[in-house]
Structure 1
Amino acid sequence: MKVIGAGFGRTGTRSLQAALELLGLGPCYHMSTVVAEPYRVRQWLDVGEGRSRDWDTLFAGFRSAVDWPAAAYWRELAAHHPDAKVILTVRDPGRWYDSVSETIFRAFLEQRRPPPHRRLIRWLVRRLVAWRAPDFALFPRMARATFIDPVFDGRLDDRDHVLEVFERHIAEVKDAIPAERLLVFEAGDGWEPLCAFLGVPVPAQPYPRVNERAAFRRQRPRRLARLILRGR
């Protein structure tokens, strides 16, 4: 592992994944990796529920990792890979909360209190996923075990609490990782600070900008449909 991403989801981690792969530091592990290969859900469930933390097996073949659930274990990964550099992606806290509450958190909050007109649909989708993609059916349990509960105490609808966790996390990473090993990075910073930190040339193409909020919400039903149809 050459690069460990310590930033929370929705801080530009998908764009950073694309950037690292363009810079030759891929494949880069991301939550999208877990979605694309649902057998990995059980691996992370073992981590979250304390049965296994075999980092070498979990990240075999990957040169970098960003986003949840990996970012929830940044301390352990930084200790396990002492030569890896750490990138802490950040953004304006209020804008981050708006983004994460409308995307990642929204799915979990709606599971608790689904709108009445969607309850039957959600029940049918859960049954189909459990039948056709049993590994992926464990995704909500895995997410709760790896970052929803241990990082946020499950209090996703408490804005003040979530923002406090976000800002405390940034301070803890800055305090724990030596300055020469850490880059605090916003997607808007572009290639220059990232490439200088990693010691690589600046690419000719613009810095990637992927996984906007609207795109995230459009892609979610498509991913579920693919899982159901393919039985993965």
Structure 2
Amino acid sequence: MDQRPAGGERDVKVIGAGFGRTGTRSLKAALEQLGYGPCYHMSTVIAEPFRVRQWLDVGEGRSRDWDEVFRGFQAALDWPAAAYWRELAEHYPDAKIILTVRDPKRWWDSVSATIFRSALAERQRLPLRRRIIRWLVARRSPDFALYPRMARTTVMDRLFDGRIDDRDHAIDVFQRHIAQVKATIAADRLLVFESEQGWEPLCAFLGVPVPEEPFPQVNERAAFDRKRPGRLWRLIVRGR
């Protein structure tokens, strides 16, 4: 059964170069409201586990078929896509690049309490209850069971050399990443964006009207806390 989005091939029109925990959930909702949907995000990978193997192939050097990975999507944000912003910018030369940013210390506080905390837990010997859950998930969804390995190869090792418990190193990587994107992407192709700026700079950059509705502000930490336990439970109970 083909689980990929209907609608055939679409060129990606917007590429998000910003790290996870920089307002990517809010930008996803905004882009979809503006007609740039569906928008690819790490939440897409979690919701559709067959995509985990696609990214594992990318991370381990077996395949980089971007048109297949993003088939049916008009935008791609968040990790793991943002870890490959150079390759995607080159592969989709007409796509516009949005670099979501935030205060580096606030970014560290958020990412260390969510994504990095979860990744670090994978390195420890899990308690019996967690090992049982992991075994059940692997039986129900072998693809999703590969998620920690995929995240490690495409993000944690690729960007941070595995040093996700080193605050100063992570912040340095974050700041150097922002400088590299700004230095690489032509100014007329790049928007450096904070979600608090709202619709005006985003719509001006994309050349679309400003909606009457307020700019979406999604609580990313709350979304993170909800999505993984809920996803694990659905995998165990329903097998999908």
| TM norm. shorter chain > 0.5 | yes
Name the structure 1 match of 2:167.
159
- CA apart distance, 1:9: 0.4
Name the structure 1 match of 2:143.
135
**Are 1:40 and 2:42 matched, yes or no?**
no
Partners of 2:122 and 2:171 lie apart in 1 by 22
Partners of 2:205 and 2:108 lie apart in 1 by 28
- CA apart distance, 1:108: 1.0
Partners of 1:119 and 1:230 lie apart in 2 by 24
**Are 1:186 and 2:194 matched, yes or no?**
yes
Alignment counterpart, residue 94 of structure 2, candidates 60, 74, 83 = 83
Name the structure 2 match of 1:19.
30
* Superposition misfits of 4+ residues, deviation over 3 angstroms: none
- CA apart distance, 1:212: 3.2
Partners of 1:167 and 1:84 lie apart in 2 by 23
- Secondary structure, counterpart of 1:184 in structure 2: strand
Equivalent runs, 1:36-185 vs 2, <5 Å: 36-113=47-124, 119-185=127-193
The amino acid across from 1:97 in the alignment is W
Q: What's the CA shift string for 1:186-225, capped at 9, x where partnerless? A: 0101000000000000011111111432342133211110
Summarize the Cα distance change of 1:215–1:84 in structure 2 as closer, same or farther, 3 Å threshold.
Answer: closer
Task: Report how many aligned residue pairs link the two structures.
Answer: 229
Name the structure 1 match of 2:15.
4
Q: What's the CA shift string for 1:93-134, capped at 9, x where partnerless? A: 0000110111111111112236xxx61121111111111111
Name the structure 1 match of 2:205.
197
Counterpart contact for 2:122–2:148, Cα < 8 Å: no
The amino acid across from 1:2 in the alignment is K
Alignment counterpart, residue 41 of structure 2, candidates 19, 26, 30 = 30
Q: What's the CA shift string for 1:129-175, capped at 9, x where partnerless? A: 11111100000000111111010101110000000000000000000
Q: TM-score normalised to the size of structure 2?
A: 0.93
Name the structure 1 match of 2:234.
226
State the superposition RMSD in angstroms: 1.0
Q: TM-score normalised to the size of structure 1?
A: 0.96
Identity of counterpart residues, as a percentage? 73
The amino acid across from 2:213 in the alignment is Q
The amino acid across from 1:69 in the alignment is P
Partners of 1:72 and 1:126 lie apart in 2 by 27
The amino acid across from 1:146 in the alignment is T
- Secondary structure, counterpart of 1:82 in structure 2: coil
Partners of 2:134 and 2:191 lie apart in 1 by 40
Q: What's the CA shift string for 1:21-60, capped at 9, x where partnerless? A: 0000111000011111100000000000000000011101
Partners of 2:49 and 2:227 lie apart in 1 by 16
